[in-house]
Chains A and B, each alone.
Chain A
Amino acid sequence: MPPEPSTSYAAAIAPALLDPTRAVPTVVIGPNGKATEKRFGVYRNNVTVSLIEALAAIYAAVLRITGNDFFRAMARFYIRSSPPRSPLLFEYGRDFPAFIKRYEYAQSLPWLADVARVERAWLDAYHAADAVPLAPHALARIAPERLASLVFAAHPATRLVRSPYSAVTIFAANRSAEPVGRIDASTPEDALITRPDVEVVVRQLPPGGAIFISCLMAGCPLGEAAAMALKQAPTFDIAANIAGLIEAGAFTSIAPATFGDGR
């Protein structure tokens, strides 16, 4: 049995929603022979504007930096090239930072994509699963000779964003309501994003800190992660860094490394 014509209404309407160059689908009509241009335009407008608003809510610092008109134009291009696949809008725009990096008119702001990555990580941390962070004194109970072999389980909210620019400073300055002064964008910065309870906290990591936590998050034992950090930053302070990460709520538990995994 061929499908009734009415089952194709969604197939007829969907492609025209995000593409203003397409004609209004002929399946829709106005009452009493009225035209459908403005009427169908309401749906087109709702779809695009609501998705722009969703991106503006996620990427508030990018919006503040670029200004409303620039942001909306950029978002419009992005929405057409990457419409959402999930009905959960807080999942939308995962590849928006990559889009910004390629976006022709944003080339004069090379750090903008990294600011967007920090904002994306912020939202992921905000919605991450709840977990009780590792207690600050957790390491005090461990015998010193066993410390090097400890492995750490990351908190579900913990994120790391590395940037060759001052992405953390620019992010922080543009997420507050305060006026933004001049920022030297050329200092490389690494962001640690954590959410020990409900508040998301973004910190800047010291030199070596990013490699240290990315090793720990990948499951390396503490000793190995510390060696990697020292190799990159000879002044790296292991005790201060591990205490700082625990205090930030980056981990939920520690365990001795298991033998036989090649480490």
Chain B
Amino acid sequence: MTIAIRLDAPATMPLRFSPPIGGLAGTSFKHEHLAAILAEGPQRGFFEVHAENYMGAGGAPHRALEAMRRDHPLSLHGVCMSIGGPRALDRTHLARFRGLVARYQPALVSEHLAWSTHETGFFNDLLPLPYTAATFQHVCDHIDEVQETIRRPILLENPSTYVAFATSTMSETDFIRSVADRTGCGLLLDINNVFVTATNHGFAALEYLADFPLSRVGEIHLAGHAEQSDDEGDPLLIDSHDGPVADAVWKLFEIVIQRRGPVPTLIEWDSSIPDWPVLKAEAARAQAILDRAHAAAVSDDRHAA
């Protein structure tokens, strides 16, 4: 690699170990909520940001992120790495990503099973890929490269999709399990994406979850979706992140947590962003489910002793 990587750790960012994130609910961090969050002081919960929004040199975004990171665990969520693309990763982008990981020492680092760049064009969406031996190979190569560059494992997120590929030779869950086995990456299970994809492709979300390697899940995403219709007039769900989590997704979340135990869980809300108390209330609902599962696990431990 010919790229010079700078590890920026400015004096304003005292390096501190991240507060523990296990069993916590968190929210997307949006700048419009900064004042409300800081006014409340340190709170139980974590914040997730899109890495690309903090790839500028300085200014308000970094000042806000430093303020959040000082008292809360941080989750760094990459959106544009194009892990699922057939082309080599963008080394400049990877170096920027590494710089952010080094600077903010996030508790969680994640990326998507999708692509957004091809040749020189950037499409600003999470685009789908077929699941084949060839795509398996380049997804694993890309994850190896990311993990070697940032010197830690990432969590790979399952996508929401609207189309499939005739060339696919394995199921998404088999593909994801094999990638995790091969690369040692963890998984980010987006339960809304599961529900959206299952509906759009006409299978049961519970079947998908039964096949999903839950033991490798290091984070869960919950989000709202919108409903449109496909060419045949059947429901086509859109992963819109613009509203509250659907009841069906809450139900699936409870089932997953019962099986898996408490896992850091994020309420993703990226557009039509509500006031902070609304977002906070969604996170509190997830936290209550996580806490119940934690209490049950502790009581199981006592009975077993």
Contact = CB atoms under 8 A, between A and B. Distances in A.
Nearest to B123: A47
A80 B123 CA distance: 11
A32 B87 contact: no
A133 interface: no
Given A7-B134, A9-B129, A87-B90, A39 B124 contact: no
B127 interface: yes
A35 B231 contact: yes
Report, as a range, how many residues of chain A touch the other chain. 35 or more
B59 A127 contact: yes
The winner among B62, B63, B86, B132 for most chain A CB atoms within 10 A is B86
20 contacts: A5-B167, A9-B130, A9-B167, A10-B86, A10-B87, A30-B164, A31-B200, A37-B231, A38-B231, A39-B162, A39-B163, A39-B236, A43-B127, A86-B122, A87-B80, A87-B93, A87-B117, A126-B56, A128-B59, A156-B58
Interface of B: 10, 52-53, 55-63, 79-80, 85-87, 90, 93, 115-125, 127-130, 132-135, 138, 162-167, 200-202, 228-232, 234, 236, 238
Given A50-B124, A87-B117, A34 B230 contact: yes
Contact of B230 (A7, A39, A46): A39
A6 B135 contact: yes
A4 B86 CA distance: 11
Contact of A47 (B115, B125, B165, B202): B125
A90 interface: yes
A131 B128 CA distance: 42
B7 to A, nearest CB: 16
Interface of A: 3-11, 13-14, 17-18, 27-32, 34-40, 42-43, 46-47, 50-51, 54, 83-90, 125-131, 156-157, 195, 198
B125 A46 contact: yes
B258 to A, nearest CB: 29
B166 A27 contact: yes
10 A-B pairs with the lowest CB-CB distances in the bound complex, closest first: A127-B56, A87-B80, A35-B231, A130-B58, A129-B57, A28-B163, A6-B132, A14-B118, A46-B125, A4-B134
B164 A31 contact: yes
The winner among A7, A42, A50, A51 for most chain B CB atoms within 10 A is A42
Contacts of A50: 124-125
A90 B80 CA distance: 14
A17 B128 CA distance: 12
B86 A39 contact: no
A11 B129 CA distance: 11
Contacts of B236: 38-39, 42
Given A35-B232, A87-B52, A127-B61, A30 B121 contact: no
